[in-house]
Structure 1
Amino acid sequence: MGSLQLKSVRKSFGSVDVLKGIDLDVKDGEFVIFVGPSGCGKSTLLRIIAGLDDATSGSITIDGAEVVSVPPAKRGIAMVFQSYALYPHLSVKDNMGLGLKQAGTPKAEIDKRIDRASAMLSLEKYLARRPAELSGGQRQRVAIGRAIVREPKLFLFDEPLSNLDAALRVNTRLEIARLHRELKATMIYVTHDQVEAMTLADKIVVLDAGVVQQVGSPMELYNRPANLFVAGFIGSPGMNFIDAARLGVADARTVGVRPEHLSLSREAGEWQGKVVHVEHLGADTIVYLESDKVGTITARLFGEHHYEPGETIFATPAEGQTHRFDENGHAIR
């Protein structure tokens, strides 16, 4: 239970094509994350899977059954939104159990499922409270609990951590990862935050302008990006892109090297440059260089390093850690 197949899924609003033929297979129990910039179509795709929007064309199959014409309530999915969408006049317990009550589930079964979900999410002592009496993180856990009690085939998350502060984002991210392991459920998650994608996903789907750019595990996308877009989107700071002609590389248009794969030296190195700016982050030091040979590049160094703007230093890429791209932006293997 919980497999999903998309075949040639398209969505158009008038003459604007938002999704341009999406093909995807999600296995039972996988944690799949859709990432991409604003407007790439990731939330639209999630809403089409949920049945909240209609596809212009294409096939959507859940557990082998075509669901394009099936209403949302009958698809066996549960969705957690960016906004918590809780009823302010109902208690936590009633918010979590409302969908089951409306479906005619026996009270004893509702109570059993709520007890299990509240224990998993550490909500037991908040069951009698109303949403206004909870923190943002607690309200998001209630929204997740409401999804859990439905025991769906698919969990769909639409940027569920966007309204939380940094510390709560980390804590809630850990809770979602733990829930996935415990429930062994299929989860599809939309985010623009690549840290969430890299730390949570079994498989990442990178979208841009309604097209799937690459599908793979986090480290596959990091180590073997299919094109310039994926290479620049995955990784922080973003990959350095250098005109291959500047380096004398004849069989490529662009050479890429990640900031963390550059070493710096005051004595000697491959590319000489001047320090433009330095960011001291404690665990990392980010150094921006301007080089006559390769242009502006960024280096990410582990730990604290002291360089000054205007200082002349040398950057050297690690052996075997450069990427080559052709004139169409596709990776050259």
Structure 2
Amino acid sequence: MSSVELRKVDKHYAGYHALKTVDLTIEKGEFVVMVGPSGCGKSTLLKTIAGLETINSGHIVINGRDVTREEPGDRGIAMVFQSYALYPHMTVAENMGFGLRMANRPRTEIDAAVKRAARILRLEEQLDKRPKQLSGGQRQRVAIGRAVVREPKLFLFDEPLSNLDAALRVNTRLEIAQLHRRLKATMIYVTHDQVEAMTLADKIVVLNAGRIEQIGSPMELYNAPANEFVAGFIGSPKMNFIDGAKLGETAKTVGVRPEHLTVDAKSGAWKGTVVHAEHLGADTNLYLDCEKAGLLTVRIFGVYNAEPGATLYATPDPAKTYRFGADGRVLK
């Protein structure tokens, strides 16, 4: 296992400042997920750790050793990409053992490593198949297995589930979580999907425009976002934001999560009209156009029948309402 330190890392691309004085410490054995919108710098940051991108200033330290100028192959890492990048003419076993063969490792060592990884990833019955005979989820597991056989100090994942359908994403996400528990390895995982971040991470790093906005556990970010950006990015459905002036507030913006609003047909804080209702089985999302608060999303656990055009009153939980200043920071 390895620890990772990023010390004042800066990265420029021809006039574009991709990473801006990034400081980050990742402990041994942690599962850290980097999230943020497209173009925020999360994949660039991962590639700098891998050595696939050079940085303009700062230092990258892995397990106490400064690797800033080292080649990718010397950093003791393995990377799993969005693309499976499997060789179609090779079997699963050959694909998984390819890196070890290129390193001229003994055949017995390669076979043992492949079998061990296949057992961990439930690929034992697939070892003699070609990639075209596998499902998307199985192909991604083979790509992960190719990393596992190398016994790296550090695993890097760059949006590995984005090519999978919804059901396979859930299954493969579970398998990655189980893999982390089995190997007790340090893992850094990049995704734009905050649900993946919330369900996988020990620690989440939220990036925006090349800067780290906040670092914390999933529930720390959910319950105590540092600013309006983090509050809006973490949580699904996303937080409602209301112009503070419309509510007579001194805060620039008031935020309340959909699950922290209740509705009543007779009375409440904000009178509104039902625009649409999404019935999801386990819960219901209501969209209310409120006179004071504007368009709100309300999440109700269970089934709630409301017709478009009906009048309902929404009331926020005052203990779970957030106030943001003009700079977007949470007001204490």
Q: Does TM, normalized by the shorter one, top 0.5?
A: yes
Residue in 1 aligned with 2:280? Answer: 281
Distance 1:304 1:318 in 2: 21
Distance 1:219 1:15 in 2: 37
Amino acid paired to 2:48: I
RMSD, aligned CA: 0.9
Distance 1:217 1:10 in 2: 25
Greater shift, 237-246 or 212-221, is seen at 237-246
The question of 1:259 aligning with 2:261 is answered: no
Residue in 2 aligned with 1:293? Answer: 292
Amino acid paired to 2:315: T
Q: 1:71-127 CA distances to partner (integer Å, 9 max, x unpaired)? A: 111100000010001111111111111111111222221111111100011111111
Residue in 1 aligned with 2:222? Answer: 222
Q: 1:200-235 CA distances to partner (integer Å, 9 max, x unpaired)? A: 000000011111111000000000001110000111
Amino acid paired to 2:135: S
Distance 1:61 1:201 in 2: 21
Per the TM alignment, residue 249 of structure 1 is displaced from its structure 2 partner at its CA by 2.4
Distance 1:243 1:224 in 2: 20
Residue in 2 aligned with 1:303? Answer: 302
How many matched pairs?
332
Residue in 1 aligned with 2:188? Answer: 188
Distance 1:319 1:42 in 2: 34
Moved over 6 A (4+): none
Per the TM alignment, residue 198 of structure 1 is displaced from its structure 2 partner at its CA by 0.2
Residue in 2 aligned with 1:85? Answer: 85
Give the fraction of aligned pairs with identical amino acids, expressed as a percent. 64
Amino acid paired to 1:289: L
Per the TM alignment, residue 247 of structure 1 is displaced from its structure 2 partner at its CA by 2.1
- Which structure 2 residue ranges, 5 or more long, are not aligned? none
Amino acid paired to 2:278: E
Per the TM alignment, residue 281 of structure 1 is displaced from its structure 2 partner at its CA by 1.1
Partner-residue secondary structure (3-state), 1:320:
helix
Amino acid paired to 2:281: G
Per the TM alignment, residue 242 of structure 1 is displaced from its structure 2 partner at its CA by 1.2
> How high is the TM-score relative to the length of structure 1?
0.98
Amino acid paired to 1:12: H
> How high is the TM-score relative to the length of structure 2?
0.98
Residue in 2 aligned with 1:210? Answer: 210
Partner-residue secondary structure (3-state), 1:164:
coil
Q: 1:279-307 CA distances to partner (integer Å, 9 max, x unpaired)? A: 11111111111112111111010011011
Distance 1:10 1:331 in 2: 27
Residue in 2 aligned with 1:143? Answer: 143
Distance 1:14 1:102 in 2: 35
Amino acid paired to 2:7: K
Partner-residue secondary structure (3-state), 2:319:
coil
Distance 1:301 1:25 in 2: 38
Residue in 1 aligned with 2:32? Answer: 32
Residue in 2 aligned with 1:326? Answer: 325
Distance 1:132 1:293 in 2: 56
Q: 1:108-154 CA distances to partner (integer Å, 9 max, x unpaired)? A: 21111111100011111111111111111111000000100111111
Partner-residue secondary structure (3-state), 2:235:
coil
Distance 2:173 2:290 in 1: 39
